Amino acid sequence: MEFSEQRQRWKKINALTPQKLELARHILDEIRAGQEVMSVLRRHPLPAGGYLNKAALVAAYNEMVAEGSLQADVALLERIRMKPMRTLSGVTTVTVLTKPYPCPAECIFCPTDARMPKSYLPDEPGAMRALEHQFDPYTQVASRIQALKNLGHPTDKIELLILGGTWSSYRRDYQEWFIKRCFDAMNGVNEERFQIEPQDRSAHPDFELAQTQALNETSAHRNVGLVIETRPNEINSDEIQWLRHLGVTKVQLGAQSFDDHILEINKRGHDVERTRQATALLRAAGFKLVLHWMPNLLGATPQADRADFAKLWQDFCPDELKIYPNQLLANAELYQYWQRGEFQPYTTQELVELIADIKPSIPRYCRVNRIIRDIPGNNVVEGNTRTSLRQDVQAEMKKRGTKCQCVRCREVKGQSVELKALQLQDQVYAAGKAEEHFISFVTQADGLAGFIRLSLPSKDSPATGLADLNGAALIREVHVYGQSLAVGAEKTGAAQHVGLGTRLLEEAETVARQNGFGKLAVISAVGTRGYYLDRGFERGEYYLVKSI
């Protein structure tokens, strides 16, 4: 069945008929009275069989609020929202894919499918949506925002995650057009003359990304983070200036390994030193850093991977990490090595034991975003096929009595916080010739309520060529946790609404001043500029700056 046919069938099944709406009213009344959501749903089957799902409940809630028969109730919406974990980190992530395009690398583990950007498969969840929309950035973003709204998620604070292999290898006119169309979708503006992809900038002489971004500063769906993925050997001073022009705030780098021999035999196309230089330069420019690390590459062993993982925290020190165990796929060159008996994938148990061994060593300043790719098991020739590897690792660690202290494992998520009970901590570490301060507010149970990443460059830090950063201490990220709420919404005890962000900025300013800096610069996303401008920052060329 084609993707569009699947979507139409899903819409038909989930259409909110008058009968379903009436049933939903009764169910919502019981849930408001304190009944458990799933048990209430099971007590009220549909006449034709089956049950209402949470999407139908959210749709009914929205309709009842719109018609005035139900007063808006944030607590009720939280209970019926589908997949609340999506927005418990404080922002709503929208993932889009760029079009298929040649990649400059020849990595032997990377799958190749003519329908997709390099390294992606058409039956991965995000890739399926992109393919359905023919990789159009506007419709990918617009449809995803609408889908999230339909599931009850707030969509006023959007982190835009752009995937598709090596972003830096795409033509720059395509990059600029792609991001403008994403912003058009967030702004709710669909300009006809920009719907067709340009072949070069001269095709649209009135093209102005900056105007579109300025509109987003006050739009209904503000961009609070813009993420791209690229390779270490693509990063230089010209590239980082271009990324700031586009509004990028976070960069994912495929490090994969910290062993030059492993990188070479897997045809990665760069060495460890190039990764070191790239991470240092990105840090010096204030970007948030996400590194990808791959155990089970050709030539690796579980024990060698344990030693390799320890190198991550020696100068590289990513803010976030994606652990992507190498998976044997039939459309990757590595498949031929396996056929010749030159490569053997780890078993699921070997992977679980490996990751359970290394996860407790992850520093408190790093967030582990993923532990496995969302590649459906039918694509994997041999080795692990479980996409629930994170849960398997957590179960193993619980059995061992060990725990992970990474950011994700300590986030307060939907818990209430009491400001007076929070403790202020400042973890200091060296990375990329800079002194990093991970300043955080934690609960008495060590839950992470919010943090700020402050970077103090040294005289040996890489030169960025960006005038805004001359003599400045850098704020690379401010993040306060709790369910993402609409701008202006209130939620008693939610970490996002007790002034933690302002407190963290004040602490960062104090630390910077004590270390001899007279200026702060923040790598602000387009949609968060107003937040910093309200707190004394001024507009620079690519950053917001403040004299201290």
Which tens digit of pLDDT belongs to each residue from 489-508? 444 444 444 589 999 999 99
Q: Is the model's pLDDT at 413 over the cut of 80?
A: no
**DSSP code string of 397-444:** HHHHT----SHHHHB-TT----GGG-EEEEEEEEETTEEEEEEEEE-T
With a cut of 70, say whether residue 139 has pLDDT above it.
Answer: yes
Number of domains in the chain: 4
Does 256 have pLDDT greater than 50? yes
Residue 42 banded pLDDT, cuts 50, 70, 90: confident
Same domain membership, residue 365 and residue 301? yes
In a domain, 349, yes or no: yes
What is the model's pLDDT at position 491?
Answer: 43
93-116 average pLDDT score: 93
Q: Which residue, of 80, 105, 127, is where some domain finishes?
A: 80
Q: Long-range pairs for 528-537 at CB < 8 Å and ≥24 separation?
A: 528/222, 528/224, 529/217, 530/217, 530/218, 531/501, 535/502, 535/505
Sheet holding 288-293, edge to edge: 92-97, 157-163, 222-230, 250-256, 288-293, 320-323, 367-370
Residue 207: the pLDDT is 66
- Band of the pLDDT at 61, cuts 50, 70, 90? confident
Last residue of a domain, one of 378, 410, 442: 410
pLDDT at 75: 75
| The pLDDT of residue 8 is above 80 | no
**% of the chain residues with pLDDT over 90:** 68
Handedness of CA 183, 186, 192, 196 (dihedral sign): positive
What amino acid is encoded at 205 in this protein? P
Q: CA-CA distances (angstroms) from residue 277 to 96, 119, 236, 391?
A: 28, 24, 9, 34
Answer yes or no: do 523 and 460 share one domain: yes
Q: Do 184 and 97 reside in the same domain of the chain? A: yes
CATH code: domain of residue 508: 3.40.630.30
475 pLDDT higher than 90? yes
Whether the pLDDT of residue 379 is over 60: the answer is yes
Q: Which pLDDT belongs to residue 497? A: 46
In a domain, 244, yes or no: no
Residue 307 clears pLDDT 90, i.e. is over it: yes
Residues 150 and 202 in one domain: yes
Mean pLDDT across 276-292: 98
Q: Quote the pLDDT of residue 17.
A: 82
Q: How confident is the model at residue 255 (pLDDT cuts 50, 70, 90)?
A: very high
Q: Mean pLDDT for the chain?
A: 89
Q: Which of 354, 387, 410 is the last residue of a domain?
A: 410
Identify whether 246 is part of a domain.
no
pLDDT band per the 50, 70, 90 thresholds, residue 338:
very high
At 29 the pLDDT is: 85
| 510-537: pLDDT as tens digits | 999 999 999 999 999 999 999 999 999 9
Question: Could you tell me if 406 and 257 lie in one domain?
Answer: yes
How many whole angstroms separate alpha carbon 124 and alpha carbon 70? 38
Residue 237 lies in a domain: no
- The boundaries of the domain holding residue 492 are 419-547
The answer to whether the beta carbons of residues 83 and 151 sit under 8 Å apart is: yes
The Cα angle at residue 215 between residues 214 and 219, in degrees rounded to 5: 130
90 and 213 co-located in one domain? yes
3-state secondary structure 260-274: HHHHHHCCCCCCHHH
Q: How confident is the model at residue 68 (pLDDT cuts 50, 70, 90)?
A: confident
pLDDT at 1: 38
Could you tell me the sign of the dihedral formed by the alpha carbons of 476, 478, 483, 486, in that order? Answer: negative
Lowest mean pLDDT among 32-41, 290-299, 330-339, 421-430: 32-41
Query: According to DSSP H, which parts of 232-301 are helical?
Result: 237-246, 260-265, 272-284
| pLDDT band per the 50, 70, 90 thresholds, residue 3 | very low
Q: Read off the pLDDT of residues 191-225 as tens digits, 9 standing for 90 and up.
A: 888 888 887 655 555 568 999 999 999 999 999 99
Q: Are residues 458 and 398 in the same domain?
A: no
Q: What is the mean pLDDT of residues 212-240?
A: 97
Per-residue confidence band for 86, with pLDDT thresholds at 50, 70 and 90: very low
Q: Are residues 300 and 177 in the same domain?
A: no
- Is residue 185 assigned to a domain? yes
Among residues 320, 291, 326, 313, the alpha carbon closest in space to that of 358 is found at 313
pLDDT at 464 over 60: yes
Q: What is the CATH number of the domain that holds 401?
A: 3.30.750.200
Q: Are residues 402 and 430 in the same domain?
A: no
**Would 450 be classed as within a structural domain?**
yes
pLDDT above 70 covers a percentage of the chain that reads 91
Q: Please compute the mean of the pLDDT values over residues 528-548 and round it to a whole number.
A: 97
220 with 268, same domain: the answer is: no
Cα–Cα distance, 99 to 420 (Å, whole number): 50
Q: What pLDDT shows up at residue 309?
A: 98
Q: Please name the helix (run of DSSP H) or strand (run of DSSP E) that holds residue 320, with its range, or none.
A: strand 320-323
Best CA proximity match to 62, nearest among 188, 172, 151: 151
Same domain, 50 and 156: no
**241 within some domain:** no
Instruction: State the average pLDDT over residues 134-138.
Output: 96
Assigned domain for 92 exists: yes
What does residue 241 show for φ and ψ, rounded to 5 degrees?
-65, -40
Report DSSP state, residue 380.
B
Residues 277 and 224 in one domain: no
**Cβ-Cβ contacts under 8 Å for 62 (sequence gap 6 or more):** none
